[in-house]
Chain A
Amino acid sequence: MTQKNQYKLNVNGQTVEVTAEPRELLIYTLREQLNITGPHIGCETSHCGACTVTIDGKSVKSCTMFVAQAEGKEITTIEGLGGPDALHPLQEAFKEHHGLQCGYCTPGMITRASKLLEEIPNPTEEEIRFGMAGNICRCTGYQNIVKSIKAAAAEINAAKEAAQ
């Protein structure tokens, strides 16, 4: 029963193949097999959102999905959004507006926020708080997280307008 299988995933634009038991939770595949350590393990019980990734256009808590379920899926982690050389507008905004203190929840926050801004490009504060309700920050920095997401939305929208 502890047989391992091959699973093919597309992570941040690259097709990868992993060998794992089907029961392996996706967050462990990402962190320990693929060395993609942006998504964090916070509560590991589907509450905190630190492990949030985007799978086929949905924000998903990767502690609540088996690697077997993710086979054939397109997965985006914080690493796929931007990096030190080219920050995503959300990463830039979190940095500028003090949207993080310890930073542990931040990858999940930003990954979730990126999807929220796709669905609601110009959200109100209420829409941001409701749309981010699956992500918990224990430094209680919510005010600045909301501010950062608003700023990033403005930045993304301005860039879109300029491009037209």
Chain B
Amino acid sequence: MIPASFEYHRPNDMAGVLSILEEHGDDARVMAGGHSLIPMMKLRMADVPHLIDLQDVGGLGGITVGDTITIGAMVTQSDIILHDALADAAPILREASLQIADPQVRYMGTVGGNVANGDPGNDMPGLMQCLDATFTVVGPNGERKIPARDFYEAAYMTGREDDEVMTAVSFAKPAGGHAYEKQKRKIGDYATAAAAVQIVKNGGTCASASIAMTNLSDTPVYSAAAGDALVGTSVDGDAIKAAVGAMLNDIDPVEDNRGPVAFKRHVAGVILARAIERAWSRA
């Protein structure tokens, strides 16, 4: 499998990246870990005459943990898994990262690539919507912040302009219990259905809940209604059923090699119920 020819660029700062993007416009694309883009180039489904490798660009690899958590775009899934302070502050990130692809891919796969790519199969976009994260992009007119819940327009269509580069994701340190639950056919596969859940418990009652689903529409699906269905309840069977029902109104899966629509809707319900139960037990 040989991709089409391209010119390879490895600038060592963001100014260099942006000037190449400006010069070549649509013909140029940035690459982080490459584990989404390179397979598409090998299949010749992506044609990238000018490939800009971000590996030497400084300042994109940091993880800062405080009341606000910031993760640089070039932080890999493996970096996330190995970062104990991050796992203490936001354990859903490690739980989700361990369910992405396989060890070799996790050494290369980055947060920035995963959220910027816009593939509905990627796990980080739904996770970031659950956490109400903000994405930072930089372009010729400087830096701009975009809420994760507003970022995804359609498959591979996002709020990032072609001349902008994703540099970081940030979110408030999450409270309460968490779960990232994913059904996949085999290790390394994208989700048939996945759910990201954060729940805050006050006494025996749900004070707030955030729910987002992966690979069940052409974008990740943040389901405010599903979260609302849990608030004020004791998260018993009826409440979970109501949340699942609300979520099913928000997703729009299509039939593919992971199954027909009815099956995907069934799996989505099972996965979300499990995720809510686990998050609640940890809240």
Spell out A's residues near B (CB within 8 Å).
1-3, 5, 21-23, 25, 44-47, 49, 52, 58-61, 64-66, 68-69, 71, 112, 116, 130-134
- In the complex, the answer to whether A60 meets B108 with C-beta atoms within 8 Å is yes
Given the interface pairs A44-B1, A60-B104, A131-B103, the reply to whether A66 lies near B39 with Cβ below 8 Å is: no
From A2, A47, A68, A130, contact of B53 by CB (8 A):
A68
Q: How far is the CA of A21 from the CA of B101 in the complex (A)?
A: 29
B188 shortest CB reach to chain A, Å: 6
- Is there contact, CB below 8 Å, between B102 and A134? yes
Task: Return A157 CB to nearest CB of chain B, in Å.
Answer: 21
21 A-B contacts, Cβ less than 8 Å apart? A2-B5, A25-B2, A44-B1, A45-B1, A45-B39, A46-B35, A46-B105, A49-B104, A58-B107, A60-B104, A60-B108, A65-B38, A66-B8, A112-B103, A131-B103, A132-B103, A133-B187, A134-B101, A134-B102, A134-B103, A134-B188
Map CB proximity to A onto B186-206 as digits: 1 under 8 Å, 0 otherwise: 011000000000000000000
Residues on A with C-beta less than 8 A from B6 are 1, 22-23
How far apart sit A64 and B36, CA to CA, in the bound complex (Å)? 10
Per-residue CB contact flags for chain B residues 168-181 toward chain A (1 = under 8 Å, else 0) read: 00000000000000
Known: A68-B10, A69-B55. A21 touches B5 (CB 8 A): yes
A148 and B4 CA atoms in complex are apart in Å by 41
Could you tell me the distance in whole angstroms from the C-beta of A43 to the nearest C-beta in chain B?
A: 10
The answer to whether A58 and B78 touch across the interface, beta carbons within 8 angstroms, is: yes
Could you tell me the distance between the alpha carbons of A64 and B42 in the complex, rounded to whole angstroms? 9
The contact of B104 among A5, A23, A44, A59, by CB within 8 Å, is A59
Docked CA distance A52–B105 (Å) = 11
User: CA separation between A21 and B104, bound complex, in Å?
Assistant: 24
Number of B residues, CB within 8 Å of A: 29
**CA distance in complex: A133, B106 (Å):** 11
CA distance A60 to B10 in the complex (A): 20
CB pair A46–B39 under 8 Å, yes or no, is yes
Q: Say whether, besides A58-B78, A69-B55, A112 and B3 are in contact (CB < 8 Å).
A: no
Contact partners of B49 in chain A: CB under 8 A: 1
Within 8 Å CB of B103, what residues of A? 59, 112, 116, 130-134
Q: Which of the residues B3, B4, B53, B78 comes within 8 Å of A69, measured between beta carbons?
A: B53
Q: Is the CB–CB distance between B104 and A52 below 8 Å? A: yes
The answer to whether A23 and B188 have CB atoms under 8 Å apart is no
Which residues of chain A are within 8 angstroms of B187 by Cβ–Cβ distance?
133-134
Judge whether B105 and A61 touch: CB under 8 Å. yes
Contact B108 A23 (CB under 8 A): no
B10 near A64: Cβ-Cβ < 8 Å: no
Note all chain A residues with C-beta closer than 8 A to B105: 46, 61, 134
Kindly supply a per-residue 1/0 record for chain B positions 1-17, scoring 1 wherever the CB is within 8 Å of any chain A CB and 0 otherwise: 11111111010000000
* A48 CA / B108 CA spacing, docked (Å): 16
Chain A residues, Cβ within 8 Å of B4:
23
Whether B147 sits at the interface, judged by CB under 8 Å, is: no
Q: How far is the CA of A75 from the CA of B6 in the complex (A)?
A: 24
- Closest CB-CB distance, B4 to chain A, in whole Å? 7
